[in-house]
Structure 1
Amino acid sequence: MNLELTPQLVSQTVKTVEQNIFTTDKIIQIILLIALALLTLVIHKKIKLKLTTLLNNVTSDKKSKIYQKSKLLIKSLILPLTYNLLLILYIFLALNFFWPYKIMTIISEILTAWLIIRLMSSLFKNTFIIRLVSAFILTIVTLNIMNIYDRTIKLLDNIDFTTGEIRISLLLLIQGLFVLSLFMWAASQTTSFVETKIKNNSSLTPSLKVLLNKVIRFTVFGFAIIISLSSIGIDLTAFTVLSGGIGVGIGFGLQKIVSNFISGIIILIDKSVKPGDVIEIDNTYGLISSLNSRFVSIVTLNGEEYLIPNEDLITKKVVNLSYSDKLIRLEIPVGISYNSDVEQAIALIEQVAKEHQRVTSHKEPSCLLTGFGASSVELKLKFWIVDPENGLDNIKSELFLKIWQAFQSHDIEIPYPQHDLHLQSLPTELKEFRAN
């Protein structure tokens, strides 16, 4: 390093500092900043006490989330908010009396940005929206402090492309993404709130709840997109011809999707199936867990989940075991030996069915003699259950086992298959062997 340049460099640095920092206006503003900070420390405690007392008078439940969050905001925001208000008051006076205020403005802008970000972080849980708004606010503040905000906006607006009557600039895209994100977030919060209210409304049927949720979600998000595009100055009528051409082009490819969507609406309106129903379609048996715009989710008893297109529920044969009533009748066949007491067997079978917890007592189970087979007397047990979603084969298996145990304890025989063989003639050797 050239030592001869060192004094010159130091002198230039000192001169720059004196010209830009240690000026009369800036020293006055720094002193005023310190004075306003001291004044804030004095008065913010009184303001904090007044607001806390007011909060206690308004809210009776001290353990509620609203009370706790309001108390936290008072504690964390009163000091910087008071300081910022004093700065704004000084700036207002400075504009009228021509006092220096540039540093005050910079500090006030930074404080305002911090207060908005801090308030959003306390009130909202969506980190994406908080980060998006924070980045947007900090960018504006930074550009404004550097005095290049207007030039940056003009530069972004000049980077554009035009198609027909539509002009899209980089500035418009940034504004559109920001506004769209905010409106989509607001739409999401609105639909979540409404869906919760609908879900907790016991007077609505499950299918009507699903239909209302879909209509509200579609409507709110549709309006959010339209309002977002309109708010940034996009003429929506310019998309009419374009959307018509695109609609014709993709219409054929979306036939199944549209068909399933319309079928889903029909299903919700006619209430042919609803969440909680037990249905059977194409040898798939299970419980409907949810109705979606394109498909119905069916969960089987072994945990498998099938996604059945809505169109299939309209066009194919569907067995709904709980359409109007979950009460269904099941039958199981039982065979006993011709040497057994039939009346005792019938009584035992009916008693086993009555003692099973899943067999409803609203309709008594009955056992009937249905015929005389080649090897056994044929009986049939008929019983009713009200919870088909818990399975059909499992209750049949349990009843078969209980009947088997009851027959063994009462010496009732379940015969093996028997066949009588009658021979019209025998060979001579076999007749001689039989005679000996």
Structure 2
Amino acid sequence: MAQGQAEKIVEGTVDSTVRLFEGLDQFAFAVGNFRLSVLDALIFLVAATLLYIGVRIVLYVVKKLIRRSKRLDATQGLLTEKIATIIIIALAFLLGVDLLGIDLSALAVFSGAVGLAVGFGLQKTFGNLIAGLILLMDRSVKPGDVIVVGDTFGEISKIGTRAVSVITRDGKEHLIPNELLMTEPVENWSYSSRNVRVAIPVGVSYSSDMDQVEALLIEAVTSCDRVLKNPKPNIWMSEFGDNSVNFEIKAWIRDPEHGVGNVRSEILKKVWKAFKEEGIEIPFPQRDVYIKTVPDRLKSPE
């Protein structure tokens, strides 16, 4: 008896579910041969949600595997991630179309409008996407590089689908479109080597002992922690100026992402202290004013 009651309950539930689905399928609207019911919309929503969750899980697993791979460096891993993301999303779209039984020919009416929108509205988006993939493939720029684009100087933190993120020394994050790095001149301070040479001009009085000046400059620059010992720094006498004999300090650093101005400041402070201790004069422009005539009202009474 209990088994019969259970079968009746199951049959009743199934019948109710079937009637519910039939009722939902009756609420629909049609345009030509295209028909969309409430049931179709619910099925589409559930399938899209499941596909979205599935894509997120697959992408998470794939990215984990790529990042654990020791055969790929950071740039190759990022490129592989982006290509894998595009392939997985495309496969998910095709799978969704197949599962839902969508007839793509029904969308032929909208193909012209979609093509026009892509051609005009999404032109820059697709251009930046392709430019980002090209930048990663030819490795002209990569995360960690220090670059100069226009007035922006900083370290690349991320190469995204649309833009490259560059963090400047003052903590600002500039988003530069990928296409701009393909069409504008870019200074990459880390392309073939991370070594960067810093030039610092210094002028001294003509009465100074030039050999002593050169020795003090060498001592000041080599005592800076960030200056490399190899290549070693050099001191060049650049010119005889109007008021001073001009030298130029050439020093190499390996970490431009930590700033260049602070290295110059540290070296110049050491130079100033050494010159002051040795009595070496750093000349500066001086002007003498000669008064030819004095107005009568300013003359003192005799």
TM-score by length of 2: 0.88
Residue type at the aligned position of 1:101: A
Partner of 2:152: 284
Partner of 1:122: none
Match among 202, 218, 228 for residue 350 of structure 1: 218
Q: Deviations over 1:392-412 (max 9, x none)?
A: 111111111111112222222
Q: Deviations over 1:42-75 (max 9, x none)?
A: xxxxxxxxxxxxxxxxxxxxxxxxxxxxxxxxxx
d(CA) in 2 for partners of 1:383 and 1:232?
66
| 1:191 is the counterpart of 2:191 | no
Match among 371, 382, 393 for residue 261 of structure 2: 393
- Equivalent positions of 1:400-411 (< 5 A) are 400-411=268-279
Match among 164, 169, 183 for residue 301 of structure 1: 169
Match among 226, 233, 236 for residue 101 of structure 2: 233
| 1:160 is the counterpart of 2:65 | no
Q: Which has the higher helix share?
A: 1
Larger RCO (CA under 8 A, 6+ residues apart): 2
Contact 1:375–1:418 (CA<8 Å) still a contact in 2?
no
Q: Deviations over 1:347-387 (max 9, x none)?
A: 12112222212111220001111122222211110011111
Contact 1:211–1:265 (CA<8 Å) still a contact in 2?
yes
Pairwise CA distance, 1:420:
8.8
Match among 77, 87, 96 for residue 209 of structure 1: 77
Pairwise CA distance, 1:212:
1.5
Match among 101, 121, 132 for residue 6 of structure 2: 101
Unaligned runs of 5+ in 1: 1-24, 30-93, 107-142, 428-436
Q: Which has the higher strand share?
A: 2
Pairwise CA distance, 1:229:
2.6
d(CA) in 2 for partners of 1:199 and 1:174?
37
Residue type at the aligned position of 2:47: V
Pairwise CA distance, 1:202:
3.8
Contact 1:180–1:225 (CA<8 Å) still a contact in 2?
no
The CA RMSD measured in Å over matched residues stands at 2.5
Residue type at the aligned position of 1:369: M
Partner of 2:300: none
| 1:414 is the counterpart of 2:282 | yes
d(CA) in 2 for partners of 1:367 and 1:144?
96
Instruction: Classify 1:165/1:211 alpha carbon distance in 2 versus 1 (closer, same or farther; 3 Å).
Output: farther
d(CA) in 1 for partners of 2:218 and 2:61?
52
Q: Which moved more, 1:320-329 or 1:230-239?
A: 230-239
Partner of 1:336: 204
Residue type at the aligned position of 2:69: N
Which of 1 and 2 has greater Rg? 1
Three-state SS of the structure 1 residue aligned to 2:235 is: strand
Pairwise CA distance, 1:144:
6.6
d(CA) in 1 for partners of 2:239 and 2:12?
96
Instruction: Classify 1:209/1:159 alpha carbon distance in 2 versus 1 (closer, same or farther; 3 Å).
Output: same
Contact 1:259–1:311 (CA<8 Å) still a contact in 2?
yes
Residue type at the aligned position of 2:231: K
Three-state SS of the structure 2 residue aligned to 1:397 is: helix
Residue type at the aligned position of 2:269: L
Residue type at the aligned position of 2:107: F
Residue type at the aligned position of 2:184: K
d(CA) in 1 for partners of 2:19 and 2:5?
25
Pairwise CA distance, 1:330:
1.0
Residue type at the aligned position of 1:155: G
d(CA) in 1 for partners of 2:69 and 2:168?
28
Residue type at the aligned position of 2:6: Y
d(CA) in 2 for partners of 1:205 and 1:182?
33
d(CA) in 1 for partners of 2:283 and 2:116?
71
d(CA) in 1 for partners of 2:129 and 2:141?
15
- Equivalent positions of 1:138-177 (< 5 A) are 145=13, 148-177=16-45
d(CA) in 1 for partners of 2:50 and 2:87?
17
d(CA) in 2 for partners of 1:352 and 1:315?
42
Instruction: Classify 1:357/1:288 alpha carbon distance in 2 versus 1 (closer, same or farther; 3 Å).
Output: same
Pairwise CA distance, 1:240:
4.2
Number of aligned pairs?
Answer: 292
Residue type at the aligned position of 2:210: V
Contact 1:273–1:323 (CA<8 Å) still a contact in 2?
yes
Partner of 2:48: 180
Identity among equivalent positions (%) equals: 37
Partner of 2:243: 375
d(CA) in 2 for partners of 1:410 and 1:274?
47
Three-state SS of the structure 2 residue aligned to 1:248 is: helix
TM-score by length of 1: 0.62
Q: Which moved more, 1:254-263 or 1:239-248?
A: 239-248
Contact 1:176–1:229 (CA<8 Å) still a contact in 2?
no
Unaligned runs of 5+ in 2: 294-302
Pairwise CA distance, 1:287:
0.8
Q: Deviations over 1:108-157 (max 9, x none)?
A: xxxxxxxxxxxxxxxxxxxxxxxxxxxxxxxxxxx974952111010111
Contact 1:359–1:384 (CA<8 Å) still a contact in 2?
yes
Instruction: Classify 1:340/1:180 alpha carbon distance in 2 versus 1 (closer, same or farther; 3 Å).
Output: same
d(CA) in 2 for partners of 1:379 and 1:419?
24
d(CA) in 1 for partners of 2:228 and 2:33?
71
